[in-house]
Structure 1
Amino acid sequence: MARYHIETYGCTSNRGESREIERRLRDAGHHKVEEAEAADVAILNTCTVVEKTERNMLRRAEELDDETADLIVTGCMALAQGEEFASADVDAQVLHWDEVPEAVTNGECPTTTPDAEPILDGVIGILPIARGCMSNCSYCITKHATGRVDSPPVEENVEKARALVHAGAKEIRITGQDTGVYGWDNGERKLPELLERICTEIEGDFRVRVGMANPGGVHGIREELADVFAEQEKLYNFLHAPVQSGSDEVLEEMRRQHRVEQYLEIVETFDDYLDEWTLSTDFIVGFPTETEHDHEQSMALLRETRPEKINVTRFSKRPGTDAADMKGLGGQTKKDRSKKMSAAKREIVAEAYDEMVGQERSVLVVEEGTGDSVKCYDEAYRQVIVQDASEHGVEPGDFLDVEITGHQTMYAFGEPL
């Protein structure tokens, strides 16, 4: 698990968000440290009330970028002016606060809470469908905490999803260490069946997002899974399949259960079945055995598949893992490679959102944003911000049609029709 350092600036709302971030990180087994230099990841929850504050936020982000392996920026300035950090050459992930806990990893699987029970957060229902995974990645300490996958029956998870919808959930987020191997402990591959039954057997108007599924688990069910996505309108056309490297040699050293060709076959299958969908993936840069050629292969894969959501993580050693005994790369090498990949990421994501401008989209409002705005997602789980929400009478849980009027790097702006 990761050691994290968190700093919060601004109003009571920001402090509340940071408390929730910390609660989720504690539940996931991560550990807080007081000094940024001792952390695997630093979290900066920003304020943007006046220009002087913005300059202070940028300066602090620059300092944290130099002090720690990875930096996550969230809060008001991140949402309103996230591009300013890239312009200042700050190598950071810019995220909404509720995306932070999942991003605090070292390429490791997310860790669900010990009881793995559903949670209703506003109109978002969080449904852990299983605990554990089937992988043995050389860099991941999560495996020591969770063990092999333990999958409850499909019927049990369908009933939990039904309870969330009846309690008011409009978006169900399917989570787990690796959703793609759901059912493997019983000798079956049950994710497609589970998704189809949630969408067809539960009454109500809601959407379903599938959480992280490693390519090794998805590859064997890729056609069946893509077919369910194509048939079920309640499913967001979104797949998070972390490839981690574009080099088969590095993937072997990582002990990942897939190779680049399998990842490409997953992408090609979803391209064949879906007219429009969002690919999300993760890359670890600076793994101990990663050469410059290996890194260039990762860059080439990024540009070839053009995922619209990309988590870039600099490798850091986790105690008790096999990769911790490997001779590591220099910090500057990891930082340079991370910055190069992050720049390509911003270019790819900005291009995807730029192409949306002028289009009409159907979106679900999932939660309140900064000021008088709301955060929405379209059918492909692209983020759309609607401003002046109160004037439009828009609130979380609403479905509406919008025209995309503009964008920032990581999200679009929509005007209700």
Structure 2
Amino acid sequence: MARYHIETYGCTSNRGESRQIERRLRDAGHHRVEGPDEADVAILNTCTVVEKTERNMLRRAEELEAETADLIVTGCMALAQGEQFQQAEVDADVLHWEEVPEAVTNGECPTTTPDADPVLDGVIGILPIARGCMSDCSYCITKQATGKIDSPPVEENVEKARALVHAGAKEIRITGQDTGVYGWDDGERKLHELLDRICDIEGDFRVRVGMANPKGVHGIREELAEVFAENEKLYNFIHAPVQSGSDDVLGDMRRQHQVSEYVEIVETFDEYLDYWTLSTDFIVGFPTETEEDHARSMALLGETRPEKINVTRFSKRPGTDAADMKGLGGQVKKDRSKAMTDLKMDVVADAYDSMVGETHEVLVVEEGTGDSVKCYDEAYRQVIVQNAPDRGVEVGDFVDVEITGHSTVYAFGEPV
């Protein structure tokens, strides 16, 4: 679990985005500290109203870089003028605010609350289905807090999901350290059974499955893909973090899966689903990662072309085996991160560009900036509808939209 420090500058919208970042960080088990010198990562949410403000943002970024282990820059200046931070030689990850929570995790599993109670946030129901995992990754500190997988019975989770739907949930987010090994502690992986049962609940809602490590998914990949194909309530979306394209590095990470198993998962879902989203994570700059290993990761990204990609520079977590390894230089990690991020943006932009001109049914899940709303289509790709009040579009609605354009990591839709 990471200690984070966050600073927010600018308008109400920026402050709202910072609140959402913090909410997701807290949900993942991370905690806030007051000063950057105490933090594992500092987050700078920037403003770019006038030139003086931009100079202040660059100056503050330089100060934070010197005071904390890792720096993430987000907000308006990061999105509009991110190259200025590179030109100023600020060693930071420049990210869209929605990418920040995943980047903070350093590739670690999310951490659910100890009691694993469901939460209703607007029309989004968050359902932790289990606590713990079956992995022992050499870089991850989360395992120290959560232990082995502890899976409540399927019926218990179905009842929690039913209660969320009755309370008004339109989207149920299935969460856990590793959803793919749900039920393993009872001798049988049951994620596909649980999802099938949840989709039988009466009501008009959608279900998104949270992170599932490739090892857990691989053994039930056909059963899972079949459940996805048969249930329209399931977003056609899986998050399977591969972390590296090198089996040697995966071995040093103790990730339990091999690259070939990850590829087989992708091939199986390609066979069952015509339109779906693959999400994955890569850790760049792991202590034993060579240039050849990095090239393999780049090739794997290009081959499988996931539509959502979290790229994280490795940083040491105290008490983990990887913390005792001799690390790579900061510039090496920075260069590899930039190369992979550049490729990532090309891959993601191609995915959203391919949607332009198509019509998709989307679920409106929350308010966006100004009069816009954030929606997700059947493959959990984000679609922004602008001027929503004028069009009678509200949170919780299902709307058919024509995709008219995109901004790399999300699409724009017009109601039809």
**Alignment-derived partner of residue 218 in structure 1:** 217
Matching of residues 16-415 of structure 1 within 5 Å:
17-19=17-19, 21-22=21-22, 24-26=24-26, 28-36=28-36, 39-47=39-47, 50-52=49-51, 55=54, 59=58, 63=62, 66-67=65-66, 70-75=70-75, 77=76, 82=79, 84-85=81-82, 89=86, 91-96=93-98, 100-200=100-200, 202-415=201-414
Are residues 53 and 16 of structure 1, via their aligned partners in 2, closer, same or farther at CA, if it must alter by over 3 Å?
A: farther
Superposed CA deviations along residues 85-104 of structure 1, whole A, max 9, x for unmatched, are 268646323133xx644442
Contact 1:71–1:93, Cα closer than 8 Å, also in 2? no
Superposed CA deviations along residues 335-394 of structure 1, whole A, max 9, x for unmatched, are 111111111111110111111111111111000000010000111111100001111011
Are residues 71 and 414 of structure 1, via their aligned partners in 2, closer, same or farther at CA, if it must alter by over 3 Å?
A: farther
CA distance in 2 between partners of 1:267 and 1:125 (Å): 27
CA distance in 1 between partners of 2:389 and 2:52 (Å): 27
Shift of the alpha carbon at 1:23? 5.2
Are residues 58 and 233 of structure 1, via their aligned partners in 2, closer, same or farther at CA, if it must alter by over 3 Å?
A: farther
| Secondary structure at 1:82 match in 2 | helix
Superposed CA deviations along residues 261-287 of structure 1, whole A, max 9, x for unmatched, are 000000000011100111000000111
Shift of the alpha carbon at 1:213? 0.2
Contact 1:288–1:327, Cα closer than 8 Å, also in 2? yes
Identical pairs, percent? 79
CA distance in 1 between partners of 2:228 and 2:84 (Å): 37
Are residues 409 and 302 of structure 1, via their aligned partners in 2, closer, same or farther at CA, if it must alter by over 3 Å?
A: same
Contact 1:91–1:342, Cα closer than 8 Å, also in 2? no
The one-letter code matched in structure 2 to 1:293 is E
Shift of the alpha carbon at 1:234? 0.5
Paired residues, number: 410
Contact 2:218–2:262, Cα closer than 8 Å, also in 1? yes
Are residues 348 and 130 of structure 1, via their aligned partners in 2, closer, same or farther at CA, if it must alter by over 3 Å?
A: same
CA distance in 1 between partners of 2:61 and 2:307 (Å): 25
CA distance in 1 between partners of 2:277 and 2:20 (Å): 28
The one-letter code matched in structure 2 to 1:248 is D
Using structure 2 for the length normalisation, give the TM-score: 0.92
CA distance in 2 between partners of 1:236 and 1:60 (Å): 43
| Secondary structure at 2:402 match in 1 | strand
Contact 1:129–1:174, Cα closer than 8 Å, also in 2? yes
CA distance in 2 between partners of 1:363 and 1:374 (Å): 11
Contact 1:70–1:313, Cα closer than 8 Å, also in 2? no
- 5+ long unaligned stretches in structure 1: none
The one-letter code matched in structure 1 to 2:335 is D
Using structure 1 for the length normalisation, give the TM-score: 0.92
**Alignment-derived partner of residue 5 in structure 2:** 5
- 5+ long unaligned stretches in structure 2: 87-91
Shift of the alpha carbon at 1:55? 3.1
Superposed CA deviations along residues 118-160 of structure 1, whole A, max 9, x for unmatched, are 1111110000000000000000000000000000000010111
Contact 2:8–2:15, Cα closer than 8 Å, also in 1? yes
Are residues 73 and 157 of structure 1, via their aligned partners in 2, closer, same or farther at CA, if it must alter by over 3 Å?
A: farther
Contact 1:65–1:92, Cα closer than 8 Å, also in 2? no
| Secondary structure at 2:126 match in 1 | strand
| Secondary structure at 2:82 match in 1 | helix
Contact 1:210–1:239, Cα closer than 8 Å, also in 2? yes
| Secondary structure at 1:140 match in 2 | coil
Are residues 34 and 300 of structure 1, via their aligned partners in 2, closer, same or farther at CA, if it must alter by over 3 Å?
A: same
Shift of the alpha carbon at 1:36? 3.9
**Alignment-derived partner of residue 15 in structure 1:** 15
Contact 2:74–2:94, Cα closer than 8 Å, also in 1? no
Shift of the alpha carbon at 1:2? 1.3
Contact 2:46–2:57, Cα closer than 8 Å, also in 1? no
